[in-house]
Structure 1
C-alpha cells in the first residue's frame, strides 16, 4: 500500500483510520491556522480548511497520500466548532437541545506524486433529544465535550442525547469512512489490499 499520511492530531480520526486501513499510516499534525473567510458558505469554509491542512502537511513529504478533514456542526446557518470553555460548551448544547442539525466534514485527499487533490463534503443529519440544564451541566463536567465540534461526542456519553442519525455515523465522529474509501479507490488504493512481502 502507498504511504498514507493523516494530517490531523485528532485521536478519534487516528483510531477510525486505523480500523479502516490498519497501522500502516503516519500522523502529522498540520500547523495551518484556521481563519474565517467572509462571504464563504460554511460548507465551503470546511472544505477550504481541510484542503489547507492537507497542503500544509504535504510540504513535509515527497510521496504518498495526505488525508485531511475538518468537521463542524452546522445549525441555523452557523458553524459550531469546538467550545473554548465549559460555559461555551453548555451554550452550544442548550442551542442544539431538541433540534435537528447537520454534522458536516470537508474531506481532502492530496496525492503528492501526481499533485491531484480530491475534495468532497459529507453531511450527516443528527436529531438531538431535549436535554435538561442539569443533564447538560453534568455532561460538561465529564470533560468530554471540550474538544468536540458541537460540544458532544456521539461515540461517548454524548450518545445518550442523540435520538437518531441519518447518514454516515463515522462522519459525526470526525472521519467519513464511506466517502474516504471511495476517494482512496480513485487513487488506486484498496482498503482490503494486503502488503506483499
Structure 2
C-alpha cells in the first residue's frame, strides 16, 4: 500500500504495532526502547502516555539520528485508575471484573521524530470501550488463555478479548495499541512514506 521513502524505526516490541506497519507494506527496523515506564506521583493518563512515547523515541533516536522514529505507549483507564499489564492471572481477573459492565477509556500517546530533520511530534488519541456485564467465571476462563498477561487492562480486543466487548467509540487501532490513521498522517506529512502508485 505504501512505499517507505526515508529510514524508519519502530521503537516497540509490540507484535501488534509491528503487524500494523507490516500490513501497510512499510520497510522498517524494530529497535525496542529500554526506559523506566513507572507512573509518577499524580501523573494523569494523557501526560503519562505522551511522556513515555517521547522517552521511548528519544532512547532510540540517538542510535539512528538520520532515521524517523515512531514510538507509542497505551494505557487503559477505569475512571481515574490506570490499569497496566497484570502481573498474574489473578490480577488479570481483578482488572477484568473492574471493567465488567462499564465504560473505560484507552489512551495511546505516540511520538514521531527525526534528529537530523529537527522534528518531534507528539499526539494522544482516546477511545472508549464498553464491556458486557460478564461474571467472574468468564473472566477466569479468559485469563486462563494467557492472552491478558501482556496487555494493558488485561485484554486484547483483536484476540479472544473481543468476546468481552459490547461496543466501542473512536479508533479501533488505538485500542489495539497504535492509532494508525494519526500516525500515518504524520508519516505522510513528513514524506517518510507515500502511497504506492499503480506503476510502482
Establish whether TM, by shorter chain, passes 0.5: yes
Note the residue ranges of structure 2 that are not aligned, 5 or more in a row. Answer: none
Provide the C-alpha distance between the structure 2 equivalents of 1:40 and 1:87, rounded to a whole number of angstroms: 26
Cα offsets for 1:23-57 (capped at 9, x unmatched): 40000000112122223322111110010000001
Name which of 12, 17, 23 aligns with 1:13. 17
Is 1:159 the equivalent of 2:162? yes
Name which of 74, 78, 82 aligns with 2:77. 74
- Give the conservation status (yes or no) of the 8 Å contact 1:181–1:191: no
Provide the C-alpha distance between the structure 1 equivalents of 2:69 and 2:13, rounded to a whole number of angstroms: 13
Q: How does 1:1-197 map to 2 (within 5 A)?
A: 1-20=5-24, 22-193=25-196
- Give the conservation status (yes or no) of the 8 Å contact 2:6–2:193: no
Aligned residues: 195
Provide the C-alpha distance between the structure 1 equivalents of 2:26 and 2:123, rounded to a whole number of angstroms: 24
TM-score, normalization: structure 2?
A: 0.93
Runs of 4+, deviation exceeding 3 Å: none
Quote how far apart the aligned CAs of 1:193 are. Answer: 4.0
Instruction: Summarize the Cα distance change of 1:24–1:190 in structure 2 as closer, same or farther, 3 Å threshold.
Output: closer
TM-score, normalization: structure 1?
A: 0.94
Provide the C-alpha distance between the structure 2 equivalents of 1:170 and 1:191, rounded to a whole number of angstroms: 20
- RMSD, aligned α-carbons: 1.5
3-state SS in 1 of match to 2:143: helix
